Structures are given as C-alpha cells and as structure tokens.
A and B are shown apart, each in its own frame.
Chain A
Amino acid sequence: MFGLAKKDATLLLVVVGLTLLAPFILNPFPTDSAMAQFNAGYPDLMQRFVIFGIFAIGFNILFGLTGYLSFGHAAFLGVGSYSAVWMFKLLSMNVIPAIALSVVVAGLFSLLIGYVSLRRSGIYFSILTLAFAQMSFNLAYSVLTPITNGETGLQLTLNDPRVLGISQTADGSIPVTGLFGLEMRSTYTMDVGAWAFQFNVGYYLCAVALLVAFYLAIRIFRSPFGLMLRAVKSNQQRMNYTGLNTRPYTLAAFVISGMYAGLAGGLMASMDPLAGAERMQWTASGEVVLMTILGGAGTLIGPVLGAGFIKYFENIFSKINDNVLHGWFSFMPDGLENFVITIIHPFIGKGWHLTLGLLFMMVVIFLPGGLVEGGQRIAALFKRGKKDDDGADTSKATTPAE
C-alpha cells in the first residue's frame, strides 16, 4: 500500500489512527474528575505534539541515519516561523503560502549552513552548526530587529499591508489565520456524557502535515538514498572507495531535515502568528536532540514518541504542585506523607527540567535505543516468558549491555 512494505504500511496506519483520533485518545478522563489534569486532548497541547513530532522526524533523518549530530536545528525552525509571520503580514492570512515559504526559506538557509558545516565531521560539525545557530540567534536579537522585531518578537499588527486580505476586521481587530476561510482557532466541542472532546481545525491541519511528513520519512528510510545515508554513518571510508560521493548525500539529508524544521516552524506560526528569537536558541536545538534520542534515534516512530513524551510530561509535570501531591499521598501517615512530598518536590513543577535531564541521562546510559528499544525489550521479555514456561532467566536477559 502506498508503495510501502506491509510492516511499514501497518505502522503508518497506526499513526494515522492515533493522530486522527487523538482528541479521544488523549482525553480519557471526564472533565470534572480529579484525573482531568492528566488529559492532553486540548488543541494547544495536541498541536505542540505533532509540530514537535515533525521537527523530530526531520532531525532524525539527519542524525538517525547519517550520525551527524547538529546542535543548530532550531535555527531552521526559527527562520520558518519568521517567514510564515511575514507572509501573514504581507500577503494573506491563508496558511498555505505561509507554510510553503517557511519550508522554502528554511531549505535555502539549511543549504547554506549545511554546505559550510558539512566540510567537517564529528565534533567539529556539531560545533559549526552550534556556532551558526548561535550567530543567527544573536543577529535576530540585535541587528536584524527590522526583520525579527528583536526581543519582543515578530507579531501581527493592525496596520499590516496585507495584499490579499484586510489589515483589520470590521470590528477593528487583527484577522486570524485560516485555510480558505476555515479559521485555525475554530474548535468543535463534542460533549459525550461527562467528557468533552475538542476537535480543532489547526490541530487537524498539523496532523495532516505530520502524516505527510511521516509517510515521506518512511519512503526516505526505505529508499536507496536512505541506504546511502546509513552507509555514511557506518563507514565513510568504504563509501568513498566504493565510488560514492558522501558530501551531496549528507548535504541532501541536512537540507531535507532543515525543511522539516521549517515546516514545523511555519505550522507553529500558523497556529499562533508570532515568532521570537528564543525559538532559535541552542537549548531549543538541544530539545529536539533530546526528543530524538529519547524516542529512539534512527527508528521511524521513535522521534514522534520522544516528542510526544517530552511535551506531555513537560505539560503535566509543570502542573503538579505540592497541593496535588498532598492529595495523592493523603493516605499515608502525616510524617511519611511530608517526607515523600519533600523528596518528590524538586522534580515537579518548575523542576521538570531536572527530571528531564535525569531521564535523558538514564536513556543515554542504559537505553541508547530510546523508548523504541525499551518497548522491544519488553516485547522480547513477554515472548520469551511465553516460550519457556519457567522463565527463570528472563529478568537477567534484560540487564542493559554496556
């Protein structure tokens, strides 16, 4: 199906199902229940899941396949956002031209940076991409203020000269982004008993983009080009002596992943038409590295899982506070309850980054294949458990290899 092998087609169908039904799946708890805070089925968060999913899928095409670790990919996302907002300001509030421009500009920008950075490999490549991204970030903050609006960030105003459209609506407000009249922010809420499921136009636009991005990634992974990229990671020397020119392969991978980042940036601006320099900072580049590694670099589904995992827990962990904890542990004796909460306290709320850092270290140390490898190990555990009935050694078999 779609020119995919059966296994890949199944994976694609699963992802299609999950993204389209996300408003249900991510909203398992009734609106008024105590557990409702664990729901993730509201538009803003769901949009972030898929947008960062796209970003990570693209990053994975570079890092997962070729092994080139870029620390500057946020620059492409930022450039994509700026391009989209400019398109909204100058041309029209339709998201299609905005997103198209984001992808093109990010592609050109990554062609430039990739062409220079890929002259080196290993840590030198990482530092070069980092240097370029920091440079872009610093410039966006300072000299490029006419284009980026500096620290405030680029926003829509009431007197943007919109060629195909109006500068302000009849009631004097800024028009909203849309797709041929369909507003991105419009949401249909379906009340079923105690549940309220939200279907948002913007989310579904992002979801479609994610599915296309994911489908293309599968095709790339299974293509001769994808094979060559994996060969780059494995042994460049052998490639050169097999008559293959590695430079255009890595550059193509770099530009493709830059375009994915641009798409993510364009979507981000389409959901909320503003763009700030902080999207280009190296910590933002670090975040996409974390997502990819956490999910499983070099796997198809890993980056999407990693992006979803990090964005979900970022959201949930930041919401948990001491009161919530007291609610959970109220069954314990007072002294013990306070002790437990004191222990947990640093890791929740604003301490989310601490949890994330620890988690990330654990993954790199014990589970270099990320969540996907973890899933495979668990699956293998079950299979083995079924096969040999005593199953005595299964626990040992999962101890991580160095």
Chain B
Amino acid sequence: MDAIILQILNGLDKGSAYALIALGLTLIFGTLGVVNFAHGALFMIGAFCAVTLQRILSLSTVTLSKTETNFLGQPAEIKTPYVESWFGPEAGAAIIDWSVPLAILFSIPVMIAIGFIMERGLIKHFYKRPHADQILVTFGLAIVLQEVIKYFYGANPIPTGAPEVFKGSFDFGVLLGFDPNAIIYPYWRLVYFGFSALIISAVFAFLQFTTFGMVVRAGMADRETVGLLGINIDKRFTIMFGLAAAVAGLAGVMYAPINSPNYHMGMDFLVLSFVVVVVGGMGSLPGAVLAGFMLGILESFASMNEIKSLIPGIDQIIIYVVAILILLTRPRGLMGRKGVMEE
C-alpha cells in the first residue's frame, strides 16, 4: 500500500510537467490550429529563466580583504553580491536563496514576450499551411532555440537549487500511519505539484469565467462563426499564444530544481507531451491534464522493481504502449472532440 502511494506521489511531479506543457500545446492547437513542435523549447527556456535570474542575482562586486589572505599571501577576494550590498546581507542572501520562486515573476513577461514574437513573427504565417509544414517549421525553430541556449549556457546541465527551506524531504508515511521513512517525498516536488494545480485551475478559471475566455472557447469550437460575429479573434489568439508560452515557461521555471536545466530538456519533454496531448485528445483541455497525470503516474508505477521484473523494460515503453493502444481503440483520444484533425 505504501509503495503504491509512493509511486502515485512520484508520478505527480512529472505528470504535472506533462500536464502543463500539454495544456499549452492543446490551447495553441485548439485556438490557432497549429501543431507547435517548439513548445518543448518554451519549457526549456522557462527553466533557463530560473538559471538566468539566479545568475543575475549572484552578480557580485569584488573587494580585497584587509585581514584575510589567499594561499599566495595576497589579499583574498571577497565577492559581495549586489543584492546583499543593497538590501543588507541577510535579506540579500534570502533573495538569492529564493531565486527560483522569484523567477516566476521574472519569467512571465519574458515568456509572454517570446510567445508574442513567435506568433506574430512566424506562426501567424502558417495558419493556412498544411500541418506538416507547421510541424516542420516549428521543429526547425525548436532546434534554433535549443542551440541558442546551448551557445550561451553550454551543454552541461546547470544545477539550480530550490530555496533552503524546501530542500529536505517530507515523511508522508508517518502522516498516514505507516512506518517512518516508508514514503519519503521531497518538499519541492510537493510545491511543484501544488503550483501546477494552481496554474491549471487558473487557466481553466480564466477560460470559464472571463469574457475573453468565453470567446476563446467559442473560437476553439467554431472559429469561423466567431469570426463572423465581428470579434477580432486573431488578436485574442495572439494573447492566447503568449499565455500558453507563459504556462510552459512557468512549468519550466519550477522544474529547474527537480532536474538541472540542460539545452535538450525541451525536446525530451516535447515528445512525451505530444503523446500526452494525443492520448488526451487533440483540442481537449481536460483531456490534456488528465492524460498528463495519468501517464506520469503510470510511468512511475512501471518503474517499480516488482513490475519491472515481471515485464522487463516496461518502464521504458509504458507511455508509448498506452498511447498506441489508446490511439487505435479511441482514435480521438480520451476526451477528444469529433472532427479535430481528421481527414
């Protein structure tokens, strides 16, 4: 029993990331009808927003120490981050420590701007082109984005720590009456799950309760009719693209402490997120979220030793097997609408 709970918990954080990326992919696909292979790159850029902010905050002035010397007998260099000299040592250190959560604020405008530029500069011209062209051009863009990041940040993963308070683990087992250490779960993963749930709810609430969201939902259902009503749907869709980029970016920012950001993490997640979208059903937002968590949890169950010894290699392929089975038995995915992407 405790093992099952542990696997569910383990699946949650990966599932959250899948769900958030898939949510953005679906939003873009549902509203703009564009298959965006560069969406994984947005997730990756989000993670590097966290890296960047941490670096900016750690920018330091160098002063020579009057008392201490280094091993050559010269005065030692003391690095004082600007934030510490501005806000005092304690507040400054706290700010640096909290750089990943702070990067949320930093990343939102950055991601929205990137989303706007992408949509206006490139994607817009591909609305009427075949899906294959859309896949190809965004695939090219994904390569470019990841190579640019690689150029500036290098090829190695960059460890980016969570705030000190969240570094430990939480003993879930004790809470539920199991033996101590039966279910250990890192705090930050818990935070990640909560954060994802919050973002997902916010997106749904936004679409459900605002006029803007209503128009977008109507546009997803029937773009032409909404256009005929004299509503400027294109402008709203641009905003939607920015929003989807921000969601992917936020997913990336908060994922940085879980998995040190590297330039190809976007591609790694993209393939799986596409599978998630297809399993959930192209164009279905609840489907994307459901499939994201479902596949995340399934993946972590498949990596249990008991199951691996039963069916060797199942952990490597479970997601694909499920995707293939679902696509063949339910062509529209779990919650897909009729007529989306069918010939």
Confirm or deny: A141 has a beta carbon within 8 angstroms of a beta carbon on chain B: yes
Residues in A318-367 with C-beta less than 8 Å from chain B:
346, 351, 353-354, 356-358, 360-361, 364-365
Determine the chain B residues whose CB is within 8 A of the CB of A135 once the complex forms: 316-317, 320-321
Point out the residue from A122, A283, A346 that lies within 8 Å of B267, measured CB to CB: A283
> In angstroms, how far is the closest chain B Cβ from the Cβ of A60?
13
Confirm or deny: A168 has a beta carbon within 8 angstroms of a beta carbon on chain B: no
Interchain CB contact under 8 A, B147 and A357: yes
Confirm or deny: A165 has a beta carbon within 8 angstroms of a beta carbon on chain B: no
Contact with A along B314-343 (1 / 0, CB 8 A): 001100110110011001000000000111
Confirm or deny: B198 has a beta carbon within 8 angstroms of a beta carbon on chain A: no
Determine the chain A residues whose CB is within 8 A of the CB of B327 once the complex forms: 120, 124, 127-128
The DSSP consensus for interface residues of chain A is: helix
Determine the chain B residues whose CB is within 8 A of the CB of A204 once the complex forms: none
Interchain CB contact under 8 A, B151 and A122: no
Interchain CB contact under 8 A, B136 and A122: no
- The answer for the CA separation of A2 and B275 in the assembled complex, in Å, is 46
Point out the residue from B141, B274, B313, B316 that lies within 8 Å of A127, measured CB to CB: B274
Interchain CB contact under 8 A, B331 and A126: no
Interchain CB contact under 8 A, A139 and B313: yes
The size bracket of the interface on B is 35 or more
> In angstroms, how far is the closest chain B Cβ from the Cβ of A245?
16
> In angstroms, how far is the closest chain B Cβ from the Cβ of A26?
27
Point out the residue from B144, B323, B343 that lies within 8 Å of A121, measured CB to CB: B343
Point out the residue from B136, B148, B282, B312 that lies within 8 Å of A364, measured CB to CB: B136
Interface locus among B90-98, B127-135, B156-164: B127-135
Determine the chain A residues whose CB is within 8 A of the CB of B125 once the complex forms: 365, 402
Confirm or deny: A116 has a beta carbon within 8 angstroms of a beta carbon on chain B: yes
Interchain CB contact under 8 A, A130 and B147: no
- The answer for the CA separation of A116 and B328 in the assembled complex, in Å, is 8
> In angstroms, how far is the closest chain A Cβ from the Cβ of B27?
16
- The answer for the CA separation of A354 and B317 in the assembled complex, in Å, is 31
Point out the residue from A67, A139, A361 that lies within 8 Å of B141, measured CB to CB: A361
Interchain CB contact under 8 A, B323 and A357: no
> In angstroms, how far is the closest chain A Cβ from the Cβ of B336?
10
- The answer for the CA separation of A126 and B271 in the assembled complex, in Å, is 11
Contact with A along B234-250 (1 / 0, CB 8 A): 00000000000000000
Q: Which residue of A lies closest to B144 (CB)?
A: A357
Confirm or deny: B140 has a beta carbon within 8 angstroms of a beta carbon on chain A: yes
Residues in A88-137 with C-beta less than 8 Å from chain B:
116, 119-124, 126-128, 130-132, 134-135
Confirm or deny: B195 has a beta carbon within 8 angstroms of a beta carbon on chain A: no
Confirm or deny: A155 has a beta carbon within 8 angstroms of a beta carbon on chain B: no
Interchain CB contact under 8 A, B147 and A67: no
Interface size on A, residues (CB 8 A): 43
Assuming A127-B278, A143-B312, is B320 touching A364 (CB within 8 A)? no
Residues in B288-323 with C-beta less than 8 Å from chain A:
312-313, 316-317, 320-321, 323
> In angstroms, how far is the closest chain B Cβ from the Cβ of A133?
9
- The answer for the CA separation of A291 and B76 in the assembled complex, in Å, is 56
Q: Which residue of A lies closest to B130 (CB)?
A: A67
Confirm or deny: A236 has a beta carbon within 8 angstroms of a beta carbon on chain B: yes
> In angstroms, how far is the closest chain B Cβ from the Cβ of A232?
11
Assuming A138-B316, A143-B316, is B271 touching A122 (CB within 8 A)? no
Interchain CB contact under 8 A, A361 and B313: no
Contact with A along B60-75 (1 / 0, CB 8 A): 0000000000000000
Interchain CB contact under 8 A, A293 and B136: yes
Confirm or deny: A302 has a beta carbon within 8 angstroms of a beta carbon on chain B: no
- The answer for the CA separation of A353 and B278 in the assembled complex, in Å, is 29
> In angstroms, how far is the closest chain B Cβ from the Cβ of A314?
13
Interchain CB contact under 8 A, A364 and B133: yes
Point out the residue from A67, A127, A353, A361 that lies within 8 Å of B137, measured CB to CB: A361
Interchain CB contact under 8 A, B317 and A139: yes
Determine the chain A residues whose CB is within 8 A of the CB of B153 once the complex forms: none
Determine the chain A residues whose CB is within 8 A of the CB of B271 once the complex forms: 130, 134, 282
Interchain CB contact under 8 A, B148 and A365: no
Q: Which residue of B lies closest to A235 (CB)?
A: B343
Interchain CB contact under 8 A, A360 and B143: yes
Interchain CB contact under 8 A, B131 and A131: no
Interchain CB contact under 8 A, B144 and A361: yes
Interchain CB contact under 8 A, B341 and A122: yes
> In angstroms, how far is the closest chain A Cβ from the Cβ of B45?
15
Point out the residue from A69, A119, A134, A368 that lies within 8 Å of B320, measured CB to CB: A134
Contact with B along A267-296 (1 / 0, CB 8 A): 000000000000000110010010001000
Confirm or deny: B82 has a beta carbon within 8 angstroms of a beta carbon on chain A: no
Confirm or deny: A163 has a beta carbon within 8 angstroms of a beta carbon on chain B: no
Point out the residue from B144, B275, B323, B343 that lies within 8 Å of A122, measured CB to CB: B343
Confirm or deny: B139 has a beta carbon within 8 angstroms of a beta carbon on chain A: yes
Most chain A CB inside 10 Å of its own CB: which residue of B131, B143, B312, B328? B143
> In angstroms, how far is the closest chain A Cβ from the Cβ of B149?
10
Contact with A along B258-278 (1 / 0, CB 8 A): 000000000100010011001
> In angstroms, how far is the closest chain B Cβ from the Cβ of A368?
7
Determine the chain B residues whose CB is within 8 A of the CB of A289 once the complex forms: 136, 139
Confirm or deny: A142 has a beta carbon within 8 angstroms of a beta carbon on chain B: yes
Assuming A120-B331, A123-B35, is B137 touching A131 (CB within 8 A)? no
Determine the chain B residues whose CB is within 8 A of the CB of A131 once the complex forms: 275, 320, 323-324
Confirm or deny: A4 has a beta carbon within 8 angstroms of a beta carbon on chain B: no
- The answer for the CA separation of A19 and B144 in the assembled complex, in Å, is 33
Interchain CB contact under 8 A, A353 and B143: yes
Q: Which residue of B lies closest to A283 (CB)?
A: B267
Confirm or deny: A208 has a beta carbon within 8 angstroms of a beta carbon on chain B: no
- The answer for the CA separation of A54 and B323 in the assembled complex, in Å, is 31
Assuming A121-B343, A282-B271, is B316 touching A142 (CB within 8 A)? yes
Confirm or deny: A144 has a beta carbon within 8 angstroms of a beta carbon on chain B: yes
**A–B complex contacts, Cβ < 8 Å, 6 sampled:** A120-B328, A122-B342, A131-B323, A135-B321, A138-B316, A402-B125
Known: A127-B327, A283-B267, A346-B151. 16 other contacts (CB 8 A): A116-B324, A122-B343, A127-B274, A127-B323, A130-B274, A134-B320, A138-B320, A143-B313, A286-B139, A289-B136, A293-B136, A346-B148, A354-B147, A357-B141, A357-B143, A364-B137
The 8 closest A-B pairs by CB, nearest first: A143-B313, A357-B143, A138-B316, A354-B147, A361-B140, A357-B144, A360-B140, A131-B320
